[in-house]
Structure 1
Amino acid sequence: MSNPLQPTSLFVFDMDETLIAHDLSVLWHHFLVDELKLADASFLKADEQMMSDYYQGVMDLDSYIEFSMSPVKHLSTKEIDDLADLFVKKVATKYIYPDAIALITNLKQQDKACMIISATVTFLVRALAKHLAVEFSEGVDLQVKSGFYTGLISGVPSYQSGKVIRLKQWIKQQSGKYQATHFYSDSINDLPLLLEVPNPVTINACPKLKREAEQRNWTQLSWSL
């Protein structure tokens, strides 16, 4: 008989280039330029330069979030949330790994709890989680003023060691009902959280993370579209 006081296992996933074969923020920016005409090619060029810092683990997240929100600051939170849902259905679904869908489906059939935690803004993380029927999601929260996202971060951003803090905060809010047992990621930025869980798993690991995974004998998966 199971112990009713035993925490439920929580399977935690990074999002960008882990569940999807791209970075959702970059896809969103192309959507803003190509589909909505809310920015131009220079915006995408600047995005590319800033993302190179992310892959090196040295991105200034505050600057990136403010930059990312600049084309849509005139839109209300509801308008942006609705656009995020449209964007996921129209664009992001093309990049979701079939293996990700299969794994999440299998976990849900076993009544396992799943969460996406990402350094992407919450409204995009929430939209993808909703599409994948993942019940819990955490992203970079934004300050809201008079029904508009300000472009400023609210609270601890779920980035690098901030993911550990945010996950622990969330578990505490759930009165310890859940215990993070697995975490899946592709990025060296997620090393702090990978070191926190009993079962770290890499998916298409970047070179720096691949070296860590090999040294620590972690499970490594390779997914493709």
Structure 2
Amino acid sequence: MTCKPVALWAVPRSVSTALERVFVERGDFEVFHEPFSVSYYYSPSRRSDRFAGTEPKEEYEPNEVLARLLGRRGKPVFLKDMASHVAGFMSRKFVSEFTNTFIIREPAPVIASIYGFWPDFTFEEAGYEQQHRLFGLAVENGEDPAVVDASDLTANPEGTIRAYCEKLGVPFMPEALSWEPGTVPGWEMWSEWHREAQESTGIKDQPLEDDTEVPAGLEDVYERCLPYYEELYERSSVRPARLVPTRSWYSVVVVALVLYDLDNTLLAGDSEHAWCEFLVDAGVLDGEDARAENERLYGEYEAGTLDIHESLKFQLEPLIKHPPEALRRWRKEFMSSRIEPMITDAAVDLVEGHRDAGGDLAIVTASNSFVSEPIADRFGIPSLLSVELEHHQHRYTGRVLGTPTFREGKVKRLVEWMRKTGRNLAGSHFYTDSHNDLPLLELVDNPVAVNPDPVLGAHAEAREWPVLRLDGGASGRPA
């Protein structure tokens, strides 16, 4: 591990204080909580006049704060701070003083939460542009910074923090993941922002609710923040699925891939078909024509004659026509009213069984990313290969990025992804219901037919593949 201070650069409301709390509990670091916040709000050169009525202090000048951090002796230093707090003096030299790490979060809930505290917050206080700039400066300096997504941290705290520690080269301490509620020294200045973290007993092991509505009038702020988040998300380097405990304090272990089809496999129904029905019922699509086309395309899919590009043209039309805030609102309603009833206990057991066994979980689906991403989050599955959709100026264009994940396209995309991430198919599983997935079933070590259609059922019987029912009450938990 480097002797430089470890800096965790955050945006507000990104679960960063909970990650900081882990380092407080470890005891082997000297932890500083948002040390540059005083430079931003309370120094003679302060960048914000939010607290203009407070007398500035020379000791809060950035160079003074930095000197105190760099002058510490004894324990290594860990600091968490908002990227916006260093907006006025970030540079390659400044960034070079730290081992830089980042925690990111989708902007909608961040904006909604900041607005609840400060309705007059600025774009800079949201911090997305500044976080992106800090990351770029670290890369220019030759770093490969750790980037944690908040949704990974809450969905799998132990796996994510284990991965973060491995990236830093420090021991993972599982006992630091829980604590007694109470006031944390050093958090007093911003205590109203951290009440939940101080009252907690650990990081919640559950999916993060990131489908919050953007407050009215702040849509432009959201659209400005989103591309910075999306680019850093693509650079996320701390993902928990590939790290499992061993008898030593940490170890990187390449574990077996467990691949799931989505529709009629993990779900007791078809998500894209249901999305169209939902939009018809909501009055977004014309009823008779849309229902007829939806049924025609679904029938062709079942028959194995579907033209995926024709299907995508139909599925993407409403995404092109409507603004992102309306699409997010409809998707949230769709998840609760249509998808939740499709999730069976047996499907959840199947996923959790492999997760408990240390499997590297991924969904490989022909559904588009707009529909499938929140479903993957609902199952807590960190990796998703779906039909990726192109954006331009934060609107869907109707064009697809790369090869659609359909039939042989699933194999092509999976191979590309494995090559990029260093994975392989040793010991792999694939669960699916459809004969359209035979190319991928033939590739894995453990093919499993789930609620199989007649063609796949006959093929599975001939090849003596296991057949699993998840559409009833029987448990799908692997032994």
TM normalised by structure 2 equals 0.44
Contact 2:257 2:429 in 1 (8 A): yes
Q: Greater strand percent: which structure?
A: 1
Whole-Å Cα distance in 1 between the matches of residues 326 and 381 of structure 2?
Answer: 23
- Shift of the 218–206 alpha-carbon distance from structure 1 to 2, 3 Å rule, reads same
2:208 aligned with 1:208? no
Displacement of 1:74 in angstroms is: 2.1
Shift of 1:135: 1.0
| CA distance, structure 1, for counterparts of residue 424 and residue 460 of structure 2 | 29
SS of residue paired to 1:149: strand
Residue 111 of structure 1 deviates from its aligned partner by 2.5
Tell me the SS of whatever aligns to 1:176.
coil
Which entry has the higher C-alpha Rg, 1 or 2?
2
Q: Paired residue for 1:160, among 379, 397, 407?
A: 407
Task: Map residues 210-225 of structure 1 onto 2, 5 A cutoff.
Answer: 210-225=457-472
Q: 2:380 maps to which residue?
A: 133
Shift in alpha-carbon separation, 1:104–1:190, aligned structure 2, 3 A? same
| 1:1-225 correspondence to structure 2 within 5 Å | 7-77=254-324, 79-81=326-328, 83-176=330-423, 179=426, 181-225=428-472
- Any stretches of 5+ residues in structure 2 without a counterpart? 1-245, 473-479
Looking at structure 1, the residues matched to 427 and 323 of structure 2 have their Cα atoms a distance apart, in angstroms, of 34
Q: What is the aligned-residue RMSD (CA, Å)?
A: 2.1
Cα 1:181–1:27 change in 2 (3 A) is same
Contact 1:38 1:72 in 2 (8 A): no
Task: Give 1:189's aligned amino acid.
Answer: N
Q: Secondary structure at the match of 1:59?
A: coil
Q: CA shift at 1:124, angstroms?
A: 1.2
- 3-state SS of 2:428 partner: strand
Identity of aligned residues (%): 28
Q: Specify the code of the residue in structure 2 equivalent to 1:94.
A: P
Long gaps (5+) in structure 1:
none
Pair 32,146 (structure 1): closer, same or farther in 2 beyond 3 Å: same
Runs of at least 4 residues off by over 6 Å: none
Equivalent-residue separation in structure 1 for 2:267 and 2:389 (angstroms): 23
Deviation (angstroms), 1:7: 2.9
Q: Could you say if the C-alpha distance between residues 70 and 180 of structure 1 is closer, same or farther in structure 2, counting changes exceeding 3 Å? A: farther
CA distance in 2, matches of 1:10, 1:78: 35
Q: CA deviation at 1:106?
A: 1.8
The answer to whether the 8 A contact 2:257-2:424 is kept is no
CA-CA distance at 1:34 after TM superposition: 0.6
Whole-Å separation in 2 of the counterparts to 1:180 and 1:164? 16
More off after superposition, 11-20 vs 66-75: 66-75
CA gap 1:100/1:149 in 2 versus in 1, 3 angstroms: same
CA shift in 2, pair 1:32/1:9, >3 Å: same
C-alpha distance in 1 between matches for 2:283 and 2:339: 16
2:319 touches 2:398 (CA, 8 Å); kept in 1? Answer: no
Q: Do 1:201 and 1:221's aligned partners in 2 also have CA atoms closer than 8 Å?
A: yes
Deviation at 1:81, TM superposition (A): 4.5
**Aligned partners of 1:86, 1:179: CA distance in 2, in Å?**
39
Count of aligned residue pairs for this structure pair: 224
Aligned 8 A contact 2:426 2:445 in 1 = no
Worse-superposed segment, 29-38 or 193-202:
29-38
C-alpha distance in 2, partners of 1:82/1:115?
26
In 2, Cα distance between equivalents of 1:178 and 1:88: 32
Distance (whole Å) between structure 2 residues aligned to residue 67 and residue 36 of structure 1: 16
